[in-house]
Amino acid sequence: MIKNPVKKEQLVKWVLVTFALSSLLFLFLIFIFILFEGLPLFHKIGLKNIILGFKWAPTKGSFGIFPMIVSSFLVTFGALIIGAPMGLSCAIYLAEYSGKRLKMFLKPALELLAGIPSVVYGFLGVVYIVPIIRDYIGGSGFSLLATSIILGIMILPTVISISFDALMSVPKTYREGSFAMGATKWQTIHKVVIPAAKSGILASFILGMGRAIGETMAVIMIAGNALRIPSSILDPLRTLTGNIALELAYATGDHRLGLFSTGIVLLVIIMILNYIANFGIKRKM
C-alpha cells in the first residue's frame, strides 16, 4: 500500500489516537487510585486479616470483610437463581415464539427495565417486597431474600438481551434439520438450539452476576446491612458495595483506606467475571 503524508491528516490521526488512549488512561487512573489508597492497609493489617477477617470495626482497627464477600456472592447467586430462569425463558420466548410485531414491542419494553434507576428498585423493594416478607414469611423483611428478588429483576435485561442474541445467532438450518426429523418445537429448542447457544447464554448469566455483585443503591436500601454472614435467607446482610456506599461519606484515616481495600476486592472479582464472560466464553462461540 502506498502512503501519502498530508499534514492535516496526520494531525487528525494523532488527535484521534489521543482520544482512543484516553479510555486506557481512565482505566489506568481508576486502578491506580483505588489500589494506591487501598493497598497500604493490606500491607499494614495483612491480606488474610482483611479478606478472611470476620470483624469489621474500622475505628478500632478491625477490617475483616469476609462476611461481606460471602454476602456479595450470596445475593449474586440469589439474583441468578431468580433472574437466570426468568431471563432465559423470556429470551427463548422472544427468539423462538413471539411474532415479529410482538418482538418489536416486547424487546424494547424489557430493555426499559434496565433504564429504571436502581434507587427506584430499592425503594419499591422497601415499600412492597420487604413488608410482604416480614408479614408472610418472617424476619425483619430486610434480607437476603428481598435483595435476591430485587437483584433478580435488575439483571433480567442483561440476561435477556445477551441470551437473545446468542439464540438468534444459531443458524436456521439447525432448526430445520431438527424439524425435518419430526421433533416438536420444544424438543428442537432444548435439544438443538439451547446447546448451540450454550456459551452465549452462560456469558449472559456471568454478566448478570457482574451486574448484581456491583449493584449498590438498591442493595443498601433492602439488605439490612448487618455485619455478619446470614444464616438464613431471611437474615439481613451487607455486601462489599454496600459497605463502601454506607460509610464513604464520613470515613476518615484508616477507616477510609479500609473502604478502598473493600473496593479493591470488588474490583478484582468484577474483573475476573468480566474476563470470563468476554474472553473465556465468547472465544468458544
Partner 1 sequence: MSTKIAISGLRVAFSKNEILKGITIDVHRNTITGFMGPSGSGKTTLISVINRMIDFEENAHIDGEVHIDGHNILDGGQNTVELRRRVGTVFAVPIPLPRSIYENIAYGPRLRGIGDRIMLHYIVEDSLKKAFLWDEVKDRLSMSALKLSGGQQQRLCLARTLALKPEIILLDEPCSGLDPISTAKIEDALSELKKDFTIILVSNNTKQIARITDFSAFFYLGELIEYDTTERLFTKPSVKKTEDYIQGKFG
Partner 2 sequence: MRINPRFTNKFVQIGLNLQAFFTVGILVIIVAIICFKGLPYVNFEFIFSYPEDMGRLGGIFPSIVGTILLALLSILFATPLGVGTAIFLTEYTKESKFTKIIRFGVESLAGIPSILYGLFGFIFFVIKLRMGWSLLAGVLTITIMILPTIIRTSEEAIKAVPRNLRIVSYSLSATKWETVTKVVLPSAIPGILTGIMLSVGRAVGETAAVIFTMGSSLRLPTSLFDSGRTMAVHFYILAREGISMEKAYGTALVLVVSILLINVVAYYLMNKAISKYS
Question: Which has the closest alpha carbon to 134: 207, 227, 234?
Answer: 234
Q: Is 6 in the site for partner 1 (CB under 8 A)?
A: yes
62: enclosing H helix or E strand = strand 62-63
* Residue 59 binding result from partner 2, partner 1, none, given CB thresholds of 5 to 8 Å by partner type: none
d(CA 136, CA 28): 49
For partner 1, the binding residues in 69-108 under the rule CB under 8 A are none
Residue 215 binds: one of partner 1, partner 2, none (C-beta under 5 to 8 A by kind): partner 2
* Closer of 169 and 232 to partner 2 (Cβ): 169
- Of 214, 219, 210, the closest CA to residue 246 belongs to 219
Q: Which does 235 bind (CB under 5 to 8 A by kind): partner 1, partner 2, none?
A: none
**Binders in 48-67 for partner 2, by CB under 8 A:** none
Q: CB-wise, 10 or 18, nearer to partner 1?
A: 10
Q: Does 268 bind partner 2 (CB under 8 A)?
A: no
The Cα 229–Cα 252 span in angstroms is 26
Q: How far is the C-alpha of 207 from the C-alpha of 210, rounded, in Å? A: 5
Closer CB to partner 2, 139 or 152, in the complex: 152
| Type of residue found at 110 | L
Distance between CA atoms of residues 185 and 196, nearest Å? 15
Q: In degrees rounded to 5, what are phi and psi of residue 63? A: -125, 30
4, 23, 231, 252: which one binds partner 1 (CB under 8 A): 4
**Position 224: which residue type?**
G
* Min CB(282)–partner 1 separation in Å: 26
Taking alpha carbons only, the member of 94, 93, 111 closest to residue 103 is 94
**Site for partner 2 contains 80 (CB under 8 A):** no
Compute the distance between CA of residue 123 and CA of residue 213 in angstroms, rounded to an integer: 19
Q: Within a 10 A sphere around the Cβ of 4, how many other Cβ atoms?
A: 5
48 binds, among partner 2, partner 1, none (CB under 5 to 8 A by kind): none
Stretch that binds partner 1, among 3-11, 19-27, 48-56, 219-227 (CB under 8 A): 3-11
Closer to partner 2 by CB, 141 or 232: give it. 141
Write each residue from 199 to 238 as x if it is in contact with partner 2 (CB under 8 A), else as -, in one continuous string: -----------xx-xxxxx--xx-----------------
